Amino acid sequence: MIRCARVAGLVGIPLPFVTNETALTPIRWGILATGKIAHAFATDLAHVPGAELVAVGSRRLASAEAFAEQYGRPGGPAPRAYGSYEDLVADPDVDVIYIATPHSLHLDNARLCFEAGKHVLCEKPLTLSVADSEEMVALAREHGLFLMEAMWTACHPGVRALQRRLAAGEFGTPRHVHAELGFVVNADPSDRMLNPDLGAGALLDMGIYPLTFAHLMLGQARSLTAQADLVVARGTDSGEEGAIDMSVAMTGAYDNGALATMHASMSSWSSAAAAIATDRGRIDVREFFHPTSMVFTPNAQKADWTDADVALEPVVIEPDEPVLGMGYGNEAAEVGRCLRAGLVESPLVPHEQTLTLMRQMEEIRQLTGIRYPGE
């Protein structure tokens, strides 16, 4: 297996993006769970140079078998199918496991992986609480294993290009970020989107994206405010009540007076767009969590600032590198790059960034009254 240096915080070493597939040490992936996002991830993994899906584990063997059959590479061996997560993590040919279960199960699943010596890419949000996320990070460090939250937005080549060019001042100084993400959830009360036992609610599922986008563009928030539309729901396993948010509106204050307004919803269809207003114009981002279009439109009164090194005509902002599949491929490629370089965390999604966003969401939960069974 690929071992990583047991050095906490060994991040930030830029390595060239290797595109020559034959030069890459294969990264052998296992997928833990066979739900919706596991399917999207497996589809994109096929686009990642040097990545091999070697095994999948599910609570039901039939589901793992169907998944393995669907995602085997043409001409290659079918991934092995396991009827339990325990059997998956015991597979000696798996280097790294992608955890694709509901949020409330991530910590137990990650512990299982680390105890079996496997690196982990864990779906967002890492856990329901800051304490549990800190425990997961501590476990990874104790075992000297790689851990990254699957925050694909931070690995997306479009977002990275935007971040780099905005920070370089190419579009002026950012003053305001707006980002919103929402869709109407029509699901059974047992579904993870509505079941408080599984970490239901808009904030943890969707609100994490506008918060992350603002963090990537403006830096760490100095303060946050929030309002939420709560409903009381009973966990379908525990029978206990929780208060989950159907919709959450948030504001953030950042350095240099920059502000953000952010919204996430399970009860309304939002634009899924973001806009960054600067002192020189506006950047419009479609599908900001995996941008499909990014355009800077300069303010018409450009005569005032022809001295500045800022574009005078609209600029289409292009990704820095190819987008692999929907963009989940880029997060898998980043994991591969880190493992080959012996890193235990990614400079694109460092543990501290994940924990910062978890702290923000915990603060918003306290401000609005979002709570889960047992709290």
Ligand X SMILES: NC(=O)c1ccc[n+]([C@@H]2O[C@H](COP(=O)([O-])OP(=O)(O)OC[C@H]3O[C@@H](n4cnc5c(N)ncnc54)[C@H](OP(=O)(O)O)[C@@H]3O)[C@@H](O)[C@H]2O)c1
Residues marked as catalytic: 124
C-alpha to C-alpha distance for 118 and 220, rounded to whole angstroms: 31
**65 part of the interface to ligand X, by CB under 6 A:** no
Q: Are 279 and 316 a contacting pair, CB within 8 Å?
A: no
Question: What is the sign, positive or negative, of the torsion defined by CA atoms of 130, 86, 187, 209?
Answer: positive
Q: Is 69 in the site for ligand X (CB under 6 A)?
A: no
The residue from 28, 156, 160, 192 that contacts ligand X (CB under 6 A) is: 192
User: Which of 124, 215 has the CB closer to ligand X?
Assistant: 124
Q: Which two tokens stand for residue 209?
A: 């994206």
Single out the residue of 2, 10, 24, 37 in contact with ligand X (rule: CB under 6 A): 37
In angstroms, what is the minimal distance from the CB of 30 to ligand X? Answer: 12
Asked if residue 212 binds ligand X (CB under 6 A), the reply is: no
Q: Residue 339 CB, nearest distance to ligand X (Å)?
A: 20
Residue 80 engages ligand X in binding (rule: CB under 6 A):
no
What angle in degrees, to the nearest 10, is found between the helix axes of 130-143 and 351-368?
Answer: 160
What length is written for the chain? 375
Name the one residue in this structure whose structure tokens are 């990014």: 294
Please give the order of strands across the beta sheet that includes 27-32. 80-82, 51-57, 27-32, 96-99, 119-122, 147-149
Q: Which residue is nearest to ligand X (CB)?
A: 35
Q: Which of 58, 247, 265, 360 binds ligand X (CB under 6 A)?
A: 58
Q: Which residue has the tokens 């997306």?
A: 156
Q: What single-letter amino acid sits at 35?
A: G
- Which residue's structure tokens are 């169907």? 66
- Residue 205 interacts with ligand X (CB under 6 A)? yes
Rank residues 59 and 164 by Cβ distance to ligand X and give the closer one.
59
Task: Figure out which of the listed residues 102, 174, 235, 325 binds ligand X, where binding follows CB under 6 A.
Answer: 102
**d(Cα 331, Cα 37) in Å, to the nearest integer?**
13
Q: Which of residues 6-35 bind ligand X (CB under 6 A)?
A: 33-35
- Binder of ligand X out of 63, 278, 330, 354 (CB under 6 A): 63
Phi, psi values for residue 142, rounded to 5°: -55, -40
Q: Which is closer to ligand X, CB of 105 or CB of 216? A: 105
Provide the token pair at 70. 């669907």
Among residues 29, 71, 98, 152, the one that binds ligand X under rule CB under 6 A? 152
The reply to whether 292 sits near ligand X by the rule CB under 6 A is no
Burial class (CB in 10 A: 0-12, 13-18, 19+), 306: exposed
Asked if 200 interacts with ligand X (CB under 6 A), we say: no
- Note whether 323 binds ligand X by CB under 6 A: no
CB 362 within 8 A of CB 375: no
CB of 12 to ligand X, least distance (A): 24
> Which of these ranges, 58-66, 139-147, 224-232, 356-364, lies near ligand X under the rule CB under 6 A?
58-66
248 scored as a contact of ligand X (CB under 6 A): no
127 touches ligand X by CB under 6 A: no
| 99 close to 146: Cβ distance less than 8 angstroms | no
Binds ligand X (CB under 6 A): choice among 105, 121, 177, 323: 105
Q: Cα–Cα distance between 199 and 245 in angstroms, integer?
A: 11
Which residues of the shown chain bind ligand X in the complex (CB under 6 A)? Answer: 33-38, 58-60, 63, 100-103, 105, 123-124, 150, 152, 192, 198, 205
